[in-house]
Structures are given as structure tokens and as C-alpha cells.
């Protein structure tokens, strides 16, 4: 039975097995979705007329793909609220979350993987508005009080690690306002798989070029805010933490000038907008931190200073921005005093554009390396 007749079926069998293996292992792990908008993530498909009372949505499942609760309005771009004309960044429709209202969508995910959610929101009342974004058991209340764009819309990122095969994404207005109709507008909710990078022998920092990060809407030109006080292991900007009161802005090369690669970070709120990472270091050893300081080519002009901190050392890097793009390299040499060294950056000043929106210097291409020969480090420092 070992004749040529047996080899054929065996070959067929093995190629079938290969196919099966291919289908099982070579498929993208995020087969449930592609990075981008959630189903009806821009709310373009809305309730039937019978499921609305004026602008208020009636019925839990009236908005396709979403489950809603509380006071939700379905808003068409161009609607007037008082003397404010509402615009919608993606398509023509958005939803407004009244006091204690929420929108919810379930999505198939891969247990153990990291995901980031990006959504666009606009504040509509003068009060301090916040949104609680959650995928149980993780949640965060994101402040949306400070407006960074000139049209009132900003995009925000948040990340989670999937603990189950299904993620129930909830955006909730915890309702600090008195007026039940007061609440943020939401448009465009997207998701992206994150692949947290590791430190290597070429860079002791993870994600030093900021290339791994949240989804950026191709149609929005205002970047994505990485909110403050987000924990290290759940950062939408893997490796980095925003160690300050205000957000930093994640920018893309399609809409901005970035020093290296496709992504960078704009420090948009002076000393209130700092970004940091903890690196593993050997006490007594000398290290060199190099990075780029530039501007995003977004008409953010003026004399800027980026301050970098590592170990017990600090450097102030001046940069004169014409608002047209460009960057310079900078360097900080330090001796580690601990096994964990925090590397931190912030902008010394607040900078504003002509339209009064907040902006600032850009940092990118951050590298940390140990120095074998401190004399060489000295030479580099003098040149730097
Ligand atoms: C945010 O939402 C989560 C999930 O619904 C909830 O457990 C948490 O208590 C909420 N936090 C606040 C401050 O409302
Ligand atoms: C981007 O905007 C254009 C023009 O408004 C629109 O036709 C297109 O569908 C938008 N793309 C996405 C991904 O929403």
C-alpha cells in the first residue's frame, strides 16, 4: 500500500492541511473588522421618521448598529442651535448625548489584543463636558472642555485590552450639566488594532517615532488628542503616557508636517501637556537621548522651547517656527541614577494660532541609547 497511489491522496491531504493552516493562522487576527469606522460609526444611517420626536430619538435600536439610552438627539449638519450653526465633520449626521445618555455598540474582537478607539466630539454648551468611554472592565472619563480646533470638533483616542471575544463599546455622558439637552455631539467612531512595540538594541524607548498609535480619520485635519492620565499599558500611543493635565495631539503626515515617518506628537498646551516614558536603565551608565523638535506646518508660529528631562538632567531646545514645517535634532546626555529612568517632554510656552486655537512644537524620532565610551558622548554633546 505504499505505491504511488498513496502519495497522491497524501499530497492532496497535506495541501488541504496547508490551506487549513493558512486559513487558521495567516488570516489577520482582527478578522472581525478592518481598522476604521465602526459599522454606521458616522451615524449616516439614522432613525425612521416614526422613531423621532423632532430631533429626539425614540427607541433603543432606532439608530442602526447602535443601542442607545437616555436623551439622544439625531442632528443634521446645518441645524441651528441658538445662533450656533452645527457642522458635522464626517458626512451629514451626528448624535448628541444629553445628560446621562449613552450610545453602545458590540464588536467582535480578539481576546488579549489591544485596541484603540478614536471618536470625534464637539462641545455644545458652555459647561464643563466630559465623556465616559468604556469597554468593561476598563473605562476613562475624558475631559472635552478644552477645544483645540478652530471649528469646535476634536478627535479623541482611548485604548483597551480585550478581555472577552466581544467588546461592548460605550460612550456615556455622565451629565454634569443642569440642562438635560446639553451635551456633546459625537460623530465618527473608529477602532484600530494596536501592536505595542518593544524596546530594541537600537532604541531603549518603545515607539520612539510614534508610528504606532490611534486611528486618524482620513478626512479630518485636526489630528487626534491623546487624553491625559492614561495608564501606560492602555495607552492609545503605545509606550507613552500623557503625564499632565491636558492632552497632547497625535498628528499625521497627510495633514501636517512631521519630522520622520508618518506620525508625530504636537505639544499643544505648554507645561500642561507633557509626554513621558519610563526606560530600563543601568545606574551609573551614561545614556544619550536624541529627538527632533519642529513645527507641524499648521500656521503655528513663534519662538518655541521644548524641555526634555531624563535622569537628573534637562535640556531646553529653542525652535523658531515660521509655521511652515521643519525641524532640528536635539540631544540630552545623562547618567542613569536608577534602574528606571523617566524621559519626559513638554513645551515651555503656550502657543496660539491666529484663530486662537492652541498649538505648539512637534516632537518626533526619540531615541535612547547607552554610551559605551563616555568620551565619545562628550564629543557628541559638544557637537550637539
Ligand atoms: C464609567 O463607565 C463605567 C462603565 O459603564 C462605569 O463602571 C464607571 O463607574 C463610570 N465612571 C464614571 C465616573 O461615571
Ligand atoms: C471624505 O470627504 C469626502 C468629501 O466630503 C467624502 O466624499 C468622503 O466620503 C469622505 N471620506 C470618508 C472616509 O468619510
- Look at residue 10 and tell me whether its pLDDT is greater than 50: no
Of the residues 102, 133, 134, 170, which should be mutated to test ligand 1's pocket, given the most ligand atoms within 8 Å of the CB?
A: 134
Instruction: Work out the angle at residue 185's Cα, subtended by the Cα atoms of residues 183 and 191, and round it to the nearest 5 degrees.
Output: 125
The pTM assigned to this predicted structure is 0.87
- Look at residue 18 and tell me whether its pLDDT is greater than 60: no
Query: Percentage of the chain with pLDDT > 90?
Result: 70
218 Cβ closer than 6 Å to some ligand 2 atom: yes
- Look at residue 227 and tell me whether its pLDDT is greater than 70: yes
Alpha helices in the chain (DSSP H): 4-25, 374-383
Give the pLDDT confidence score for residue 79 in this predicted structure. 80
CATH hierarchy code of domain 272-383: 2.60.120.260
Of the residues 37, 43, 219, 221, which should be mutated to test ligand 2's pocket, given the most ligand atoms within 8 Å of the CB?
A: 219
Q: How far apart are the first and last CA of the chain?
A: 76
Tell me the mean pLDDT in the region 21-26.
43
Asked whether the domain spanning 272-383 has the same topology as the one spanning 36-194, the reply is yes
Measure 139 CA to ligand 1 centroid, in angstroms.
6
Highest average pLDDT, of 75-79, 198-202, 236-240, comes from 236-240
Q: Ligand 1: residues within 6 Å at CB? A: 132, 134, 139, 141, 170, 172, 174
Give the pLDDT confidence score for residue 38 in this predicted structure. 96
Nearest Cα residue to 293 out of 243, 346, 350: 346
Topology, domain 36-194: Jelly Rolls (2.60.120)
14 Cβ closer than 6 Å to some ligand 2 atom: no
Look at 22-26, 56-60, 178-182, 291-295 and tell me which has the smallest mean pLDDT: 22-26
In this structure, the residue with its CA closest to atom 1 of ligand 1 is 132
Measure 89 CA to ligand 2 centroid, in angstroms.
9
Instruction: Report the DSSP beta bridge partners of residue 69.
Output: 102
SS3 call for 25: helix
SS3 call for 73: strand
Decide if 105 contacts 171 (C-beta within 8 A): no
Cβ-Cβ contacts under 8 Å for 241 (sequence gap 6 or more): 230, 231, 232, 235, 275, 276, 277
Q: Which atom of ligand 2 is nearest to the CA of 188?
A: 14
Helices (H) and strands (E) in the chain, counts: 2, 28
Give the pLDDT confidence of 339-365 residue by residue, as tens digits: 999 999 999 999 999 988 999 999 999
Measure 183 CA to ligand 1 centroid, in angstroms.
17
In this prediction, residue 231 has a pLDDT band, given cuts at 50, 70 and 90, of low
Extents of the domains making up the chain: 36-194, 272-383
Look at 2-6, 31-35, 84-88, 149-153 and tell me which has the smallest mean pLDDT: 2-6
Give the pLDDT confidence of 128-186 residue by residue, as tens digits: 788 999 999 999 999 888 888 888 899 999 999 999 999 999 999 998 667 776 789 99
In this structure, which ligand is nearest to the CA of 142? 1
**Dihedral sign of CA atoms 166, 94, 249, 144 in order:** negative
The larger pLDDT score, comparing residue 100 to residue 308, is at 308
- Look at residue 25 and tell me whether its pLDDT is greater than 80: no
- Look at residue 309 and tell me whether its pLDDT is greater than 70: yes
The larger pLDDT score, comparing residue 335 to residue 149, is at 335
Instruction: Report the DSSP beta bridge partners of residue 165.
Output: none
Q: Cis peptide leading into 137, omega within 30 of 0?
A: yes
Amino acid at each position: 500500500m505504499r505505491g504511488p497511489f498513496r502519495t497522491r491522496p497524501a499530497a492532496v491531504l497535506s495541501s488541504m492541511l496547508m490551506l487549513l493552516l493558512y486559513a487558521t493562522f495567516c488570516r489577520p487576527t482582527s478578522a472581525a473588522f478592518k481598522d476604521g469606522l465602526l459599522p454606521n460609526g458616522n451615524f449616516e444611517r439614522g432613525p425612521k421618521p416614526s422613531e423621532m420626536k423632532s430631533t429626539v430619538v425614540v427607541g433603543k435600536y432606532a439608530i442602526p448598529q447602535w443601542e442607545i439610552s437616555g436623551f439622544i438627539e439625531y442632528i443634521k449638519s446645518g441645524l441651528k442651535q441658538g445662533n450656533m450653526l452645527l457642522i458635522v465633520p464626517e458626512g451629514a449626521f451626528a448624535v448628541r448625548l444629553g445628560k446621562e445618555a449613552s450610545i453602545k455598540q458590540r464588536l467582535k474582537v480578539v481576546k488579549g489584543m489591544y485596541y484603540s478607539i478614536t471618536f470625534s466630539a464637539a462641545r455644545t454648551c458652555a459647561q464643563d463636558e466630559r465623556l465616559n468611554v468604556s469597554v468593561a472592565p476598563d473605562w476613562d472619563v475624558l475631559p472635552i472642555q478644552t477645544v483645540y480646533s478652530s471649528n469646535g470638533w476634536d478627535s479623541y483616542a482611548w485604548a483597551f485590552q480585550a478581555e472577552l471575544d466581544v467588546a461592548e463599546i460605550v460612550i456615556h455622558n455622565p451629565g454634569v450639566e443642569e440642562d438635560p439637552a446639553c451635551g456633546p455631539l459625537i460623530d465618527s467612531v473608529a477602532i484600530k488594532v494596536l501592536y505595542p512595540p518593544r524596546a530594541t538594541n537600537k532604541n531603549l524607548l518603545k515607539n520612539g517615532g510614534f508610528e504606532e498609535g490611534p486611528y486618524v480619520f482620513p478626512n479630518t485635519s485636526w489630528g487626534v488628542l491623546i487624553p491625559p492620565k492614561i495608564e501606560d499599558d492602555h495607552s492609545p500611543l503605545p509606550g507613552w503616557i500623557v503625564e499632565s493635565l491636558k492632552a497632547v495631539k497625535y498628528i499625521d503626515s497627510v495633514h501636517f508636517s512631521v519630522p520622520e515617518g508618518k506620525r508625530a506628537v504636537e505639544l499643544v498646551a505648554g507645561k500642561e501637556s507633557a509626554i513621558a516614558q519610563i526606560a530600563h536603565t543601568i545606574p551609573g551608565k551614561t545614556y544619550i537621548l536624541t529627538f527632533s523638535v519642529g513645527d507641524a506646518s499648521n500656521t503655528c508660529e513663534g519662538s518655541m522651547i521644548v524641555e526634555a528631562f531624563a535622569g537628573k538632567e534637562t535640556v531646553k531646545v529653542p525652535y523658531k517656527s515660521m509655521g511652515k514645517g521643519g525641524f532640528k535634532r536635539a540631544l540630552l546626555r545623562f547618567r542613569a541614577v536608577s534602574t528606571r529612568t523617566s524621559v519626559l517632554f513638554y513645551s515651555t510656552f503656550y502657543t496660539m494660532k491666529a484663530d486662537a486655537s492652541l498649538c505648539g512644537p512637534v516632537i518626533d524620532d526619540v531615541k535612547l541609547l547607552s554610551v559605551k565610551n563616555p568620551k565619545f558622548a562628550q564629543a557628541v554633546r559638544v557637537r550637539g
